[in-house]
């Protein structure tokens, strides 16, 4: 009889800081019903991976589930797979953190289930060859990646019915290829298709291996899957079919394969992730070209034949594609270096519990989901970025205490590795990251009492998938048969109106010289243009600090266009960071270096990221002026205003922007249009506040502003 060895792997994960109700829904609709059904079919063996952050939640909220899983492990029906505890992309975190994350989850598995893991789940299947050494050094013997990785190395379909060995510096691990065909049939196609696929690769020798490994959320969380998998009985039918065909489908765990079947040989795999991820990693202008080429090959019927040569981008380029991701990543690296240095210096005086708490905060800040964007990536989701910054800032607060830091420091360095220096002010209350090369803007403002980065925002930029929304709207406008809702799924009508792209990175202390007649609507839509050449352009900088205060002086000579003429203008802004008051004082001097007077409209842009645009406990307020619409997502213009505030009662934070010369103040939201598995949606990022003044500049004009952050009491 022809037989086949089948390995089944399930990966379960929820991002650090995700909503509790999302964890609960995943548990009740996927994790628990899957395990309940599996227990009814003891002949079906399976390997399961749970990220450490998910295991912690399960242990806290559903300890009975952990007990049930422990019994299945003890019976031999379930193998538990290891990995990075907080589901980090291993290749982009420091080597010491790689080892620590892997060991942390292995120890947790040993504690909860009485056995050490044999292998590991690779977050987002992001493979780089040097990882083999770190995986082996952590005592793990295997990992799993897509068969796509192998095909990029030149393997044929027939050569992927087994596993291979790879090495780095002589440290070896086994690498299993996940069958794309099985990923697409399980659980989406009739059970018979999976059984037929297995029958096709069964042999008389019975030494071939088919590997299925994929996300557990596909069994109940993905749209429509709960009814399909459980209510309509797909999963039980699948388990029953495997049991009924046990005479020729031999179900093994990964650890069983290593003990009973030899590898097919040695290989070295190229840097890769799953195919969709590599598509998402491409620059936006290459995104549609990739799709066009793919469709061309498919239409010619040669897509499968040449797929090993058809590859998208490289995962790390998410850091180049999104400066917000890059800054978050480089902050993580800076915190990691401080952790290593501080713990090394304080071995004798830092308790084990304090060291573990510090590392846990750092490692939680390495959770991968918020560092990239695709249909499933969370960079555009404030709820996923927020806990990354919260954990990293918490780690900084712990470091400040361990290092007994009580003063303010100023550093000039190329933190984000873009070839230009940043100015970094760090204190017990505020961290400020300035970019002199990008208009002397403030790109990060950490308010440590709330562990909050007030500039944790993402700018509006074009995504390759936006073309689908634009084309659908155009087709509908022409009276075509299909409307936008027939072609694409959207969570609200007319979303294409919000496809506005920022010509510069949204931040604070952005110096605008607006064109005459610029309106609030034009400021929101970025359609007015700049009369000056200051936004995004390099400034010179001088710094000084004296313990509790830092003064950073930015200055630039530029041009302001007026009446078909360019005026030479000198601008200086002195930023005083006073961490004891939780305030930034900004003093502007603007000098006209021409003889003729210059009419101008000058404004200073602030962005405040308070997570939610329509929550009733997060709102604008203006001293002595009632606001018709207080929501943080509201738009409006206020005249002759000296102060405006934004309040977040959930976080207990109040943010005020004050001016010493009454101004006209615009406010509007930054909202991106993103695509997820449930369709297109609008996601709030920040509230923009722009106080601005109309004046005629003869020689010199001055204005002062204060940006104050404080905690408030909440009930």
pLDDT in tens, 556-612: 999 999 999 999 999 999 999 998 888 999 999 999 999 999 999 999 999 999 989
* pLDDT > 60? residue 552: yes
Q: What is the mean pLDDT of residues 640-660?
A: 96
Residue 111 inside a domain? The answer is: yes
Confidence of residue 488 (pLDDT cuts 50, 70, 90): low
CA–CA separation, 296 and 311 (whole Å): 15
Which has more pLDDT, 306 or 195? Answer: 195
| pLDDT given for residue 484 in this prediction | 32
pLDDT per residue as tens digits for the range 22-65 = 999 999 999 999 999 999 999 999 999 999 999 999 999 999 99
Residue 53 inside a domain? The answer is: yes
Which has more pLDDT, 623 or 630? Answer: 630
| pLDDT given for residue 376 in this prediction | 73
CA–CA separation, 428 and 465 (whole Å): 42
Q: What is the mean pLDDT of residues 327-344?
A: 97
Confidence of residue 237 (pLDDT cuts 50, 70, 90): very high
| pLDDT given for residue 481 in this prediction | 33
Is residue 683 helix, strand or coil?
strand
Nearest of 416, 525, 465, 435 to residue 279 by alpha carbon:
465
* pLDDT > 80? residue 9: yes
Looking at the structure of the chain, the number of domains it has is 1
Residue 656 inside a domain? The answer is: no
The per-residue DSSP string of 455-493 comes to T--------TTHHHHHHHHHHHHTT-SS-HHHHS-BSST
CA–CA separation, 398 and 564 (whole Å): 56
Catalytic residues: 124, 215
| pLDDT given for residue 143 in this prediction | 98
Asked if residue 437 lies in contact with residue 538, where contact means CB atoms within 8 angstroms, the answer is yes
* pLDDT > 70? residue 476: no
| pLDDT given for residue 623 in this prediction | 86
Confidence of residue 477 (pLDDT cuts 50, 70, 90): low
Confidence of residue 544 (pLDDT cuts 50, 70, 90): very high
Query: What is the separation, in whole angstroms, between the first and last Cα of the chain?
Result: 71
Between the alpha carbon of residue 85 and those of residues 50, 81, 161, 621, the distances in Å are: 9, 11, 30, 42
Range of the domain at 248: 4-271
pLDDT per residue as tens digits for the range 264-320 = 999 999 999 999 999 999 998 888 888 888 889 899 999 888 888 888 999 999 999
DSSP assigned state of 627: -
Question: Poorest-confidence range of 2-11, 417-426, 671-680, 687-696?
Answer: 671-680
Residue 577 inside a domain? The answer is: no
Residue 148 inside a domain? The answer is: yes
Exposed (0-12), middle (13-18) or buried (19+): which is 68, by Cβ within 10 Å?
Answer: middle
DSSP assigned state of 499: -
Confidence of residue 468 (pLDDT cuts 50, 70, 90): confident
Question: Poorest-confidence range of 393-397, 488-492, 626-630, 678-682?
Answer: 488-492
Residue 198 inside a domain? The answer is: yes
* pLDDT > 60? residue 482: no
Residue 683 inside a domain? The answer is: no
* pLDDT > 50? residue 542: yes
At what angle are helices 323-345 and 352-364 packed, to 10 degrees? 170
Say which CATH number the domain at 152 has: 3.20.110.20
Confidence of residue 553 (pLDDT cuts 50, 70, 90): very high
* pLDDT > 80? residue 85: yes
Which has more pLDDT, 713 or 132? Answer: 132
Show the DSSP H helices in 17-169 as ranges: 20-26, 32-39, 52-61, 63-75, 95-113, 131-137, 147-152
Output the average pLDDT for the chain: 94
| pLDDT given for residue 474 in this prediction | 63
Residue 514 inside a domain? The answer is: no
């Amino acid at each position: 009889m022809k037989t086949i060895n089948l390995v089944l792997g399930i990966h379960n994960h929820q991002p650090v800081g995700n909503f509790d109700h999302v964890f609960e829904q995943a548990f009740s609709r996927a994790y628990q019903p899957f395990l309940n059904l599996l227990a009814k079919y003891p002949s079906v063996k399976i390997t399961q991976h749970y990220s450490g952050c998910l295991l912690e939640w399960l242990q806290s909220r559903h300890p009975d589930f952990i007990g049930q899983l422990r019994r299945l492990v003890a019976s031999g029906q379930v193998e538990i797979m290891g990995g990075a505890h907080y589901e980090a992309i291993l290749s982009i975190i420091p080597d010491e953190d790689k080892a620590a994350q892997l060991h942390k989850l292995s120890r947790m598995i040993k504690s909860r289930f009485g056995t050490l893991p044999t292998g590991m789940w690779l977050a987002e299947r992001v493979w780089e060859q040097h990882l083999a050494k770190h995986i082996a050094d952590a005592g793990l013997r295997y990992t799993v990646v897509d068969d796509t990785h192998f095909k990029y190395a030149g393997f044929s379909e027939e050569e992927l019915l087994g596993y291979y060995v790879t090495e780095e510096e002589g440290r070896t691990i086994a690498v299993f290829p996940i069958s794309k065909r099985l990923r697409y049939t399980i659980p989406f196609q009739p059970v018979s298709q999976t059984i037929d696929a297995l029958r096709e690769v069964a042999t008389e020798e019975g030494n071939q291996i088919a590997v299925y490994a994929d996300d557990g959320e596909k069994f109940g969380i993905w749209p429509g899957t709960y009814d399909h998998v459980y209510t309509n009985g797909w999963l039980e039918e699948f388990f029953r079919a495997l049991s009924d065909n046990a005479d020729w489908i031999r179900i093994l765990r990964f650890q069983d394969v290593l003990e009973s079947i030899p590898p097919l040989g040695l290989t070295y795999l190229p840097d890769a992730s799953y195919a969709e991820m590599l598509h998402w990693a491409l620059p936006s202008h290459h995104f549609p070209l990739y799709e066009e080429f793919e469709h061309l090959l498919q239409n010619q019927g040669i897509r499968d034949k040449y797929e090993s040569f058809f590859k998208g981008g490289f995962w790390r380029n998410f850091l180049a594609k999104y400066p917000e991701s890059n800054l978050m990543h480089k902050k993580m690296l800076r915190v990691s270096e401080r952790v290593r240095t501080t713990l090394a210096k304080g071995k004798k005086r830092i308790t084990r519990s304090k060291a573990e708490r510090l590392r846990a905060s750092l490692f939680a800040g390495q959770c991968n989901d918020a560092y990239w964007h695709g249909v499933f990536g969370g960079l555009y989701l404030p709820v996923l970025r927020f806990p990354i910054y919260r954990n990293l800032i918490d780690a900084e607060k712990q470091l400040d205490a361990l290092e007994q830091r009580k003063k303010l420091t100023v550093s000039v360095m190329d933190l984000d590795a873009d070839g230009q220096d940043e100015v970094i002010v760090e204190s017990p209350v505020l961290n400020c990251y300035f970019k002199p090369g990008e208009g002397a803007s403030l790109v990060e403002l950490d308010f440590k009492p709330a562990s909050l980065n007030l500039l944790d925002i993402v700018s509006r930029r074009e995504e390759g998938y936006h073309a689908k929304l634009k084309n659908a709207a155009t087709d509908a406008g022409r009276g075509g048969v299909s409307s936008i809702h027939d072609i694409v799924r959207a969570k609200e009508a007319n979303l294409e109106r919000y496809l506005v792209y920022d010509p510069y990175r949204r931040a604070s202390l952005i110096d605008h010289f607006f064109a005459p007649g610029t309106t609030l609507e034009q400021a929101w839509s970025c359609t007015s243009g700049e009369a000056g050449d200051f936004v995004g352009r390099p400034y010179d900088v001088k710094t000084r600090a004296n313990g509790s205060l830092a003064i950073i002086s930015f200055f630039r000579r530029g041009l302001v266009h007026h009446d078909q003429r360019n005026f030479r203008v000198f601008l200086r802004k002195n930023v005083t960071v006073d961490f004891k008051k939780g305030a930034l004082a900004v003093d502007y001097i603007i000098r006209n270096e021409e003889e003729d007077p210059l009419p101008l409209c000058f404004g200073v842009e602030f962005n405040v990221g308070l997570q939610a645009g329509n929550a009733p406990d997060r709102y604008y307020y203006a001293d002595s002026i009632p606001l018709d619409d207080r929501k943080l997502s509201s738009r409006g213009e206020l005249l002759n205003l000296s102060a405006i505030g934004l309040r977040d009662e959930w976080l207990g934070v109040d943010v005020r922007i004050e001016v010493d010369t009454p101004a006209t103040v615009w406010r509007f939201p930054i909202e991106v249009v993103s695509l997820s598995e449930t369709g297109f949606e609008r996601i709030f990022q920040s509230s923009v506040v722009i106080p601005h003044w109309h004046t005629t500049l003869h020689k010199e004009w001055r204005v002062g502003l204060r940006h104050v952050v404080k905690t408030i009491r909440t009930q």
